[in-house]
Homo-oligomer: A and B are copies of this chain.
Amino acid sequence: MNKNIKLAVVDDHPIVIQGIVSLINNLGNMEVVGSFQSGSELIIFLNDHELDILLLDIMLPDINGIELCAQVKKISPATAVIAISNHTERSIIMQILQNGASGYILKNASVEELKNCIETALNGELAFSKEVMEIIAKPSINDLKGRPKFTRREKEILRLIAQGKTTTGIADELFLSPLTVETHRRNMMQKLDVKNSIELINMATEQLLI
Protein backbone atom coordinates (compact mmCIF):
# COMPACT_ATOMS: atom_id res chain seq x y z
CA MET A 1 0.00 0.00 0.00
CA ASN A 2 1.12 3.53 -0.81
CA LYS A 3 2.55 5.92 1.73
CA ASN A 4 2.02 9.63 2.11
CA ILE A 5 -1.30 9.85 0.47
CA LYS A 6 -2.49 13.42 0.78
CA LEU A 7 -6.02 13.98 1.96
CA ALA A 8 -8.18 16.98 2.76
CA VAL A 9 -11.58 17.45 4.35
CA VAL A 10 -14.25 20.06 3.80
CA ASP A 11 -17.04 20.14 6.33
CA ASP A 12 -18.57 22.99 8.24
CA HIS A 13 -18.67 20.97 11.44
CA PRO A 14 -15.32 21.05 13.23
CA ILE A 15 -16.28 17.99 15.19
CA VAL A 16 -16.70 15.98 12.04
CA ILE A 17 -13.33 17.19 10.82
CA GLN A 18 -11.83 16.14 14.11
CA GLY A 19 -13.36 12.70 13.66
CA ILE A 20 -12.04 12.24 10.18
CA VAL A 21 -8.61 13.52 11.03
CA SER A 22 -8.22 11.19 13.97
CA LEU A 23 -9.49 8.36 11.84
CA ILE A 24 -7.00 9.02 9.07
CA ASN A 25 -4.15 9.37 11.49
CA ASN A 26 -4.97 5.96 12.90
CA LEU A 27 -4.64 4.48 9.45
CA GLY A 28 -1.03 5.54 9.23
CA ASN A 29 -0.58 5.47 5.50
CA MET A 30 -2.04 8.87 4.74
CA GLU A 31 -2.03 12.32 6.13
CA VAL A 32 -4.54 15.13 6.35
CA VAL A 33 -2.91 18.09 4.67
CA GLY A 34 -5.84 20.45 4.98
CA SER A 35 -9.26 20.84 6.52
CA PHE A 36 -11.72 23.55 5.64
CA GLN A 37 -15.10 24.77 6.70
CA SER A 38 -16.08 26.33 3.41
CA GLY A 39 -15.70 25.80 -0.29
CA SER A 40 -13.81 29.02 -0.93
CA GLU A 41 -11.10 28.08 1.54
CA LEU A 42 -10.65 24.81 -0.26
CA ILE A 43 -10.35 26.41 -3.67
CA ILE A 44 -7.63 28.76 -2.46
CA PHE A 45 -5.74 25.83 -1.01
CA LEU A 46 -6.14 23.73 -4.13
CA ASN A 47 -4.44 26.28 -6.32
CA ASP A 48 -1.04 25.60 -4.88
CA HIS A 49 -1.26 22.19 -3.23
CA GLU A 50 -1.60 18.69 -4.51
CA LEU A 51 -4.24 16.40 -3.23
CA ASP A 52 -4.96 12.71 -3.69
CA ILE A 53 -8.25 12.47 -1.87
CA LEU A 54 -10.85 15.03 -0.94
CA LEU A 55 -13.67 14.28 1.48
CA LEU A 56 -16.37 16.75 0.68
CA ASP A 57 -19.49 17.53 2.62
CA ILE A 58 -21.98 18.67 -0.01
CA MET A 59 -23.93 20.87 2.38
CA LEU A 60 -21.72 23.89 2.82
CA PRO A 61 -22.49 27.41 3.95
CA ASP A 62 -21.08 29.19 0.94
CA ILE A 63 -21.49 26.92 -2.06
CA ASN A 64 -23.42 23.96 -3.32
CA GLY A 65 -21.16 20.95 -2.96
CA ILE A 66 -22.20 19.57 -6.31
CA GLU A 67 -20.88 22.60 -8.12
CA LEU A 68 -17.85 22.69 -5.90
CA CYS A 69 -17.00 19.17 -6.97
CA ALA A 70 -16.96 20.22 -10.60
CA GLN A 71 -14.67 23.12 -9.78
CA VAL A 72 -12.31 20.87 -7.89
CA LYS A 73 -12.07 18.42 -10.75
CA LYS A 74 -11.36 21.26 -13.12
CA ILE A 75 -8.49 22.59 -11.01
CA SER A 76 -7.15 19.21 -10.02
CA PRO A 77 -8.45 16.33 -12.11
CA ALA A 78 -6.26 13.79 -10.37
CA THR A 79 -7.90 14.35 -7.02
CA ALA A 80 -10.46 11.74 -6.07
CA VAL A 81 -13.49 13.37 -4.51
CA ILE A 82 -15.64 11.46 -2.06
CA ALA A 83 -18.89 13.17 -1.19
CA ILE A 84 -20.12 12.96 2.37
CA SER A 85 -23.71 13.86 2.87
CA ASN A 86 -26.99 13.32 4.58
CA HIS A 87 -28.93 13.41 1.37
CA THR A 88 -30.40 10.13 0.28
CA GLU A 89 -31.93 11.35 -2.95
CA ARG A 90 -30.81 9.37 -5.90
CA SER A 91 -30.78 12.42 -8.14
CA ILE A 92 -28.27 14.21 -5.96
CA ILE A 93 -25.94 11.24 -5.90
CA MET A 94 -26.14 10.99 -9.66
CA GLN A 95 -25.52 14.68 -10.12
CA ILE A 96 -22.34 14.71 -8.12
CA LEU A 97 -21.04 11.56 -9.77
CA GLN A 98 -21.66 13.21 -13.08
CA ASN A 99 -19.55 16.07 -11.83
CA GLY A 100 -16.60 13.79 -11.36
CA ALA A 101 -16.91 12.48 -7.83
CA SER A 102 -15.36 9.10 -7.10
CA GLY A 103 -17.69 8.15 -4.33
CA TYR A 104 -20.60 8.98 -2.09
CA ILE A 105 -21.18 8.02 1.50
CA LEU A 106 -23.84 8.95 3.97
CA LYS A 107 -22.92 10.58 7.22
CA ASN A 108 -24.33 7.71 9.16
CA ALA A 109 -21.91 5.32 7.52
CA SER A 110 -19.67 3.41 9.86
CA VAL A 111 -16.06 4.28 10.31
CA GLU A 112 -15.20 1.02 8.60
CA GLU A 113 -17.20 1.97 5.56
CA LEU A 114 -15.47 5.28 5.31
CA LYS A 115 -12.09 3.59 5.44
CA ASN A 116 -13.08 1.13 2.75
CA CYS A 117 -14.41 3.85 0.52
CA ILE A 118 -11.21 5.84 0.74
CA GLU A 119 -9.22 2.82 -0.26
CA THR A 120 -11.56 1.94 -3.07
CA ALA A 121 -11.43 5.46 -4.42
CA LEU A 122 -7.65 5.41 -4.27
CA ASN A 123 -7.72 2.38 -6.53
CA GLY A 124 -9.59 4.42 -9.06
CA GLU A 125 -12.91 2.70 -8.50
CA LEU A 126 -16.21 4.19 -7.52
CA ALA A 127 -16.83 3.94 -3.79
CA PHE A 128 -20.17 3.87 -2.01
CA SER A 129 -21.37 3.09 1.45
CA LYS A 130 -23.88 0.29 1.81
CA GLU A 131 -26.96 2.39 2.01
CA VAL A 132 -25.92 4.42 -1.00
CA MET A 133 -25.50 1.29 -3.05
CA GLU A 134 -29.06 0.33 -2.28
CA ILE A 135 -30.27 3.74 -3.36
CA ILE A 136 -28.38 3.51 -6.61
CA ALA A 137 -29.62 0.01 -7.22
CA LYS A 138 -33.24 0.98 -7.59
CA PRO A 139 -33.51 3.35 -10.48
CA SER A 140 -36.36 5.77 -10.46
CA ILE A 141 -38.40 7.15 -13.27
CA ASN A 142 -37.73 10.69 -12.18
CA ASP A 143 -34.11 10.50 -13.15
CA LEU A 144 -35.03 10.44 -16.79
CA LYS A 145 -36.76 13.76 -16.61
CA GLY A 146 -33.51 15.64 -16.70
CA ARG A 147 -32.79 18.34 -14.23
CA PRO A 148 -34.49 21.61 -14.94
CA LYS A 149 -32.98 24.88 -13.89
CA PHE A 150 -34.66 27.75 -12.14
CA THR A 151 -33.92 31.32 -13.07
CA ARG A 152 -32.77 33.77 -10.44
CA ARG A 153 -36.20 35.32 -10.23
CA GLU A 154 -37.86 31.98 -9.93
CA LYS A 155 -35.60 30.97 -7.09
CA GLU A 156 -36.27 34.21 -5.33
CA ILE A 157 -39.98 33.66 -5.56
CA LEU A 158 -39.67 30.03 -4.59
CA ARG A 159 -37.86 30.98 -1.43
CA LEU A 160 -40.70 33.26 -0.48
CA ILE A 161 -43.26 30.60 -1.26
CA ALA A 162 -41.29 28.24 0.95
CA GLN A 163 -41.63 30.70 3.78
CA GLY A 164 -45.36 30.34 3.57
CA LYS A 165 -46.02 33.68 1.95
CA THR A 166 -49.06 34.09 -0.20
CA THR A 167 -49.02 35.17 -3.83
CA THR A 168 -50.25 38.64 -3.09
CA GLY A 169 -47.82 38.95 -0.22
CA ILE A 170 -44.94 38.07 -2.49
CA ALA A 171 -46.21 40.43 -5.15
CA ASP A 172 -46.27 43.25 -2.63
CA GLU A 173 -42.81 42.44 -1.44
CA LEU A 174 -41.30 42.36 -4.91
CA PHE A 175 -43.43 45.12 -6.37
CA LEU A 176 -44.90 42.79 -8.93
CA SER A 177 -48.32 41.95 -10.12
CA PRO A 178 -49.74 38.91 -8.35
CA LEU A 179 -50.30 37.50 -11.81
CA THR A 180 -46.59 37.57 -12.45
CA VAL A 181 -45.84 35.76 -9.24
CA GLU A 182 -48.45 33.20 -10.15
CA THR A 183 -46.88 32.69 -13.54
CA HIS A 184 -43.47 32.09 -12.03
CA ARG A 185 -44.93 29.66 -9.59
CA ARG A 186 -46.69 27.78 -12.31
CA ASN A 187 -43.67 27.68 -14.54
CA MET A 188 -41.67 26.13 -11.73
CA MET A 189 -44.37 23.60 -11.02
CA GLN A 190 -44.39 22.69 -14.66
CA LYS A 191 -40.63 22.31 -14.77
CA LEU A 192 -40.65 19.89 -11.87
CA ASP A 193 -43.86 18.26 -12.95
CA VAL A 194 -45.62 18.67 -9.63
CA LYS A 195 -49.15 19.72 -8.91
CA ASN A 196 -49.04 21.96 -5.87
CA SER A 197 -46.77 24.34 -4.03
CA ILE A 198 -45.83 21.97 -1.24
CA GLU A 199 -44.66 19.37 -3.70
CA LEU A 200 -42.79 22.10 -5.50
CA ILE A 201 -40.93 23.02 -2.34
CA ASN A 202 -40.21 19.40 -1.51
CA MET A 203 -38.94 18.52 -4.93
CA ALA A 204 -36.85 21.66 -5.23
CA THR A 205 -35.32 21.04 -1.82
CA GLU A 206 -34.56 17.46 -2.71
CA GLN A 207 -32.77 18.48 -5.83
CA LEU A 208 -30.95 21.24 -4.02
CA LEU A 209 -32.15 23.81 -6.49
CA ILE A 210 -33.75 26.12 -4.02
Contacts and interface: CB of A to CB of B under 8 A. Distances in A.
A164 B14 contact: no
A166 B16 contact: no
Interface residues of A, number: 34
Nearest to A114: B15
Interface stretch (A75-83, A136-144, A194-202): A194-202
Copy number in the complex reads: 2
Interface in A1-47: 12-23, 37
Contacts of A163: 198-199, 202
A197 B20 CA distance: 41
A107 interface: yes
Contact of A16 (B16, B161, B162, B199): B16
A15 B85 CA distance: 12
A105 B166 CA distance: 34
Contacts of A194: 164
A177 interface: no
Contacts of A111: 14-15, 18
Given A18-B22, A161-B198, A164-B196, 16 more contacts: A13-B107, A13-B108, A14-B109, A15-B84, A15-B111, A16-B16, A16-B19, A16-B107, A17-B19, A19-B20, A19-B22, A22-B22, A163-B202, A164-B194, A164-B200, A164-B202
Interface of A: 12-23, 37, 84, 107-111, 114, 161-164, 166, 194-202
15 contacts: A12-B108, A13-B16, A14-B110, A15-B16, A15-B19, A15-B107, A15-B109, A15-B114, A16-B16, A18-B22, A18-B23, A18-B111, A163-B198, A166-B196, A198-B201
